[in-house]
Structure 1
Amino acid sequence: MAPTKSQLNAQHCRDFVSATHSTPYDAIDPSHAKLPPAFVACIIGGRGAAGAGLAKAYARAGASGLILAARTLPALEETANEVRSINPTTKVTTAECDITSESNVESLAHTIESKFAGRLDVVVVNSGYTGPMTSDVVKESPKDYQNAFNVNTIGVFYAAHYLLPLLVATNSPAMSFLAISSMSAPTVSGPITHTHYCVSKAAQARLIEMINEQYAENGLFCASIHPGGLKSEFSRDAPEWLAKYLTDSPDLVGAFCVWLSTSSGSERRRRALNGRFLSCKWDVAELEARFDEIVEKDLLRFRIAVE
């Protein structure tokens, strides 16, 4: 059977550059980052594979403060201890936060105000929800569809609503709001296109584009980021044919986010990639070579073709 246009578009997105990676490499090594003495990052969904990879990367980069948030505090202790072992000078604060609860996210903002005097340089929203993989809207559970939007889209709105004011007030050269997305977001057909996940992640990416339009003039950088194929709690029920592809290191997405959000030498990078859909697997040297093309053709955004 010939591939559909959607499948071809998704493949082109995965192959946007010819060289891809599964583990961190020298160009994005977080230990090479040059952070200012005061640099605070908040990771919502700071546990599990990607959460730990993100937290460890910012610790290796020398962040002075990290706020790790998740629905249950005990789940964060392993990540917090890993951060402390990597960088004993990093002040680590854990916070109980269900991203689907507006009051919880508002409370997280108050925690940042009290623990770090309101300083906030970077927010990474790593929370995500996916239910069983069913490529049939009739067979999918309405509850899964609602839960996916509550976490993947509405939760990101809450994070932006309550944390953007802290980012803007801090006015850091590295000011960034990053959402961990999925290559499922631009995909509408194929074996992994379970409606609740793909649609909610596509809506999340559109929200990031709108935040970019509203806050780029304030110096904010934002992006939707595919984290690679990770073995995580979400992949426990993945079919065998898919599980064998989940071989990317969670440290890769962490290193990529540090590369995106640090300010050193990144003015052109931030201008070219702001508000766009990116993959942590893409080789950054090849990506940099396409910066002018990305801007000129307005690539890596969601759109409706009308021609």
Structure 2
Amino acid sequence: MTDKTPDKTTALVTGANKGIGYEVAAGLAREGMTVLLGSRDRERGEDAAARLRAAGGDVRTIVLDVTDPATIEAAAAALTRLDVLVNNAGISGPVGRPPGATPPQDLRDVFETNIIGVLMVTNAMLPLLRRSSAARIVNVSSGVGSLAHHTDPDHYMSGLPPMATYPVSKTALNALTVQYAKELRKDGILVNAAAPGACATDLTKDLPYKITRTAADGAAIIVRLATLGPDGPTGGFYDDEGTVPW
């Protein structure tokens, strides 16, 4: 990434070298933004950014590990402008373990990326976002974070196997989204959570059923929330069909 942040609307997408994050970066580039493609691995990030530039996007790589304060601080220090932050980086943790068989460290590991990482990145970027005239923050959540879905006997999620890691982290992320929205409303910063739906990505490759929804399909709601107008909502949870119940 060049040292000087461009003058046009600038977006940072974490975990963007593949999957939904990559498609979000592509979508925001098509919207005319300069996109900072966050990636833990510089080479993979450069490869992804090069593909998007070949398609006509203004996309640059920024090395960023959401669990590493040093890379977060370095990324923030390298920027002079930021208008959109998409907290996309996330991990699933072990799949198939019920809460009663989950070691505490498994939960700590998932929260380190999916919650604490979001907090660290957001806080590091807040000074830049507060200087923007139309800042937007989108936290990439999941429908499995909806308590309403899991407790509704008519919803298919109520029949999913119980887990103490990924779903719990997304419920916590929804709560964190609401608290940031409360804090930043006075600054005109809109903060929302997106449920992209189950998509065929590395995150879902170990699930015991086939998923046909693409990463590009999942990215659509995230791009929409990242480009909300001044009268758009804040503190909400949305998928393609509208509001997702908490």
Give the alignment's TM-score, normalised by structure 1. Answer: 0.70
5 Å-filtered alignment, 1:144-159, equals 144-159=106-121
Structure 1 residue 166: deviation in Å?
A: 0.5
Q: Distance in 2 between matches of 1:259 and 1:44?
A: 17
Aligned to 1:252: 217
2:45 to 69, 73, 76: 76
Paired amino acid for 1:123: L
Among candidates 59, 67, 74, match of residue 107 of structure 1:
74
Distance 1:166 1:247, change over 3 A: same
Whether 1:261 aligns to 2:238 is no
5 Å matches for 1:276-287?
Answer: 276-279=236-239, 281-282=240-241, 287=242
Q: In percent, how many aligned pairs have the same letter?
A: 27
1:172 matched to 2:133? The reply is yes
- The alignment yields a C-alpha RMSD, in angstroms, of 1.9
In 1: Cα distance, 2:44 partner to 2:103 partner: 27
**Aligned partners of 2:203 and 2:102: how far apart in 1?**
17
Match of 1:140 in 2: 102
Change (3 A) 1:192 1:275: farther
**SS at 2:61's partner residue?**
strand
Equivalent position to 1:183, from 143, 149, 155: 143
C-alpha deviation, 1:216, in angstroms: 0.9
Separation in 2, partners of 1:107, 1:301 = 37
In the aligned structure 1, how far is the partner of 2:216 from the partner of 2:127?
A: 29
1:60-115 deviations in Å (ceiling 9; x for gaps): 1111x211112111221332022202225x1x32122210122221111112x2xx
Larger Rg over CA atoms: 1
After superposition, the Cα gap between the structure-2 partners of 1:142 and 1:108, relative to the gap in structure 1 and judged at 3 Å, is same
Q: Secondary structure at the match of 2:144?
A: coil
Structure 2 match to 1:224: 193
TM-fit CA distance, 1:218: 0.5
Assess if the C-alpha contact under 8 Å between 2:16 and 2:39 holds in 1.
yes
Q: Is the 8 A contact 1:129 1:197 kept in 2?
A: yes
- Matched residue type, 1:146: R
1:203 aligned to 162, 169, 172, which one?
Answer: 172
The letter for the 2-side match of 1:47 is N
Are the counterparts in 1 of residues 181 and 191 from structure 2 also a CA contact under 8 Å?
Answer: yes
Once the 2 structures are TM-superposed, how far is the Cα of residue 258 of structure 1 from its aligned partner? 2.8
1:132-164 deviation line (CA, Å, top 9, x unaligned): 223521222333211110011000100111011
Contact residue 180 and residue 227 of structure 1 kept, 8 A: yes
- Corresponding residue number in structure 1 for 2:3: none
Any stretches of 5+ residues in structure 1 without a counterpart?
1-36, 288-298, 303-307
Q: Which residues of structure 2 form unaligned runs of 5+?
A: 1-6, 151-157
Equivalent positions of 1:126-137 (< 5 A) are 126-137=88-99
Residue in 2 that maps onto 1:16 = none
The 1-side partners of 2:110 and 2:214 are apart by 25
Q: Does 1:55 align with 2:25?
A: yes
> Alpha-carbon deviations, 1:163-198, whole Å to 9, x = none?
1111111x222x101111111111445325421111
Contact 1:122/1:176 (CA < 8 Å) preserved in 2? yes
CA distance in 1, matches of 2:161, 2:130: 38
C-alpha distance in 1 between matches for 2:198 and 2:168:
19
Instruction: Give the number of the structure with larger relative contact order, counting CA–CA contacts within 8 Å between residues 6 or more apart.
Output: 1
Question: TM-score of the superposition, structure 2-length normalised?
Answer: 0.86
